[in-house]
Structure 1
């Protein structure tokens, strides 16, 4: 019998997946990370809580629970990992010491391989979250000006190149100048830094990697993104259509309208 284990990071995406999986009648167990995973997730399905870096405990728990399929969703900030390595268990420290490098893609791909070696099957969560994928065209707000759209097309191409290097998935541009590139600080701080450097009227561009593996690190936008953009006085958010998860679409659209922010989905080949 199929049993799904959800390794849940921060944010709404794990909650959305859990609700969807349970509504489809899936046998789901959640493995939350103390201080990171949203506590409300435990009301959806049986939840076990672990500290960040308790790798052996996680694997042992999933085996005891007869988990067959595994999903990893939600943000674990890169800097959390790097700052907490000294507190990791032996299994996790050993895992990190064997990595070629510690880019997000390298870490997550290695985690998937480690889970596969232990007999688990990492699955694509997209079928449970299809309704969250950002469409092509205007998603929220009004039609952007030609100048803003030109910045969006320019920025999306730059963001794609940056994402391939696994530096980050977000860039902030203005007048076809790259203002800020997402690094360890994450999307929201990158947006705010862009506003501090270039003032109002910036365009935020967020993409997936080329040939994005939908089993991990898929870009996500939500009301928190819009709040950071309001703080930065940014005007337009451009995301990759069909490869970006949009959380709470109705509230997101209302908030974008309220803040005077336009949001567009751009299809990339």
Structure 2
């Protein structure tokens, strides 16, 4: 049985994957990033810690550990990469220097290609995380959203899909069919907070996957942190793309949505 190498970023998704893989009898080795990956992951499976940008050490370690299949999960903020390049090793600096542009999709696709060149096989992690995929319909909150917020949701999801395809971000905040905030390099939570500052109470947060989303990287994720940002922004509805968005800390998420009076819906998009 081949061993899976997990390159783990921030958040709960790498933790959930590790638990699921181990429960299914898979042998995994985790490669965590110091200061980014949640330390609790090391309790689940053997973990090696590296600094962000130690590309050659990561590749050499995975070869030494006889890794074939590789999974990349968890957030590494775009600005972390861009502002840390001066600390990267020679391999990582050369890699970044050869990129056509520094969009998230460009970086991640190039990383996958680099791994393939080194003989690794980047695999789709979703079979281990199918229980976390958002279903269609109301998934949290006490009641179905009213007509006006739902109209905002459908409007916002359509706009978000176009923004995601341009690789600007995956989230937009809308109100009264006006785009209030678009996610850029600052990330989802700061986008939500900015939307709240501009829109006031009752905005709608919409989050989607790219068209033809490659499930091997950068799949949209929602969790309790999303809801906490929405509470601060006084947003009342979270609309996400069903079947292509992961929800982490699911039970805690549902409890928090009920407590905050936030409705969360999954919408199937073409």
d(CA) in 2 for partners of 1:239, 1:200: 20
RMSD: 0.4
TM-score under structure 1 length normalisation? 1.00
Q: Where does 1:1-269 land on structure 2 (aligned, <5 Å)?
A: 1-141=1-141, 142-269=143-270
Per-residue Cα deviation, 1:99-140 (whole angstroms, up to 9, x for no partner): 000000000000000000000000000000000000000011
Distance 1:249 1:77 in 2: 23
The total of aligned residue pairs comes to 269
**How far, CA to CA, are the matches of 1:263 and 1:249 in structure 2?**
12
How far the C-alpha of 1:239 sits from its partner, in A, is 0.1
Output one character per residue of 1:55-111: Cα deviation in whole Å (capped at 9) or x when no partner.
Answer: 000000000000010000000000000010000000000000000000000000000
Q: What SS does structure 2 have at the residue aligned with 1:264?
A: strand
Deviation at 1:25, TM superposition (A): 0.7
CA distance in 1, matches of 2:41, 2:97: 32
Please, which runs of 5 or more residues in structure 1 have no aligned partner?
none
Q: TM-score, normalised by structure 2?
A: 0.99
Q: Could you list the runs of 4 or more consecutive aligned residues of structure 1 that deviate by over 3 angstroms after TM superposition?
A: none
CA distance in 2, matches of 1:55, 1:98: 15
| Offset of residue 248 of structure 1 | 1.6
Whole-angstrom CA distance in 2 between matches of 1:27 and 1:131: 20
> 1-side partners of 2:224 and 2:13: how far apart?
13
Structure 2: gaps of 5 or more residues:
none
